[in-house]
Structure 1
Amino acid sequence: MTTARHLATIDRLRTLPFPARPGRTDAGSGGAGHHLAELATSEDFWEDDGTRREAAEEQYEAERDALAVVLTARWGEPQMFSLWSLFERGARGEELPEPWGTLSQSVPDVHLWRVEERWIALGVSQWDGELPFQLLAVITEVDPP
Structure 2
Amino acid sequence: MNIAQHIALIDELCYRPFPAEHGPSDVGVSGPGRHVAVLDAAADDDPARWAVVVDQLEKERDAVRELLASRWGDTTPYGLQTVLLRTAHEEIPGPWAELSMRAGFAHVWEVEGTGRWVAVAVTDRDATQGPLLVALVTEIPPP
- On whether the aligned pair clears a TM of 0.5, the verdict is yes
Report the equivalent of 2:130: 132
Q: CA RMSD in A?
A: 1.4
Cα distance in 2 between the residues matched to 1:84 and 1:126: 13
Which aligned segments of 4 or more residues in structure 1 are displaced greater than 4 angstroms?
none
Cα distance in 2 between the residues matched to 1:30 and 1:10: 13
Indicate the SS of the match to 2:77: strand
Indicate the SS of the match to 1:110: strand
Report the equivalent of 1:141: 139
Is it true that 1:55 corresponds to 2:52 in the alignment? Answer: yes
Q: CA deviation at 1:89?
A: 2.4
Q: 2:121 aligns with which of 123, 128, 133?
A: 123
Report the equivalent of 2:68: 71
Segments of 5+ residues of structure 1 without an aligned counterpart are: none
Aligned length, in residue pairs: 140
Matched AA of 2:120: L
- Residues 1-145 of structure 1: matches in 2 within 5 Å? 1-42=1-42, 43-45=44-46, 48=47, 50=48, 52-90=49-87, 92=88, 94-116=90-112, 117-129=115-127, 131-145=129-143
Q: CA deviation at 1:78?
A: 2.1
Q: TM-score, normalised by structure 2?
A: 0.91
Q: CA deviation at 1:53?
A: 1.2
Indicate the SS of the match to 1:15: coil
Q: CA deviation at 1:127?
A: 4.1
Percent of counterpart pairs with the same letter? 39
Q: TM-score, normalised by structure 1?
A: 0.89
Q: CA deviation at 1:128?
A: 2.4
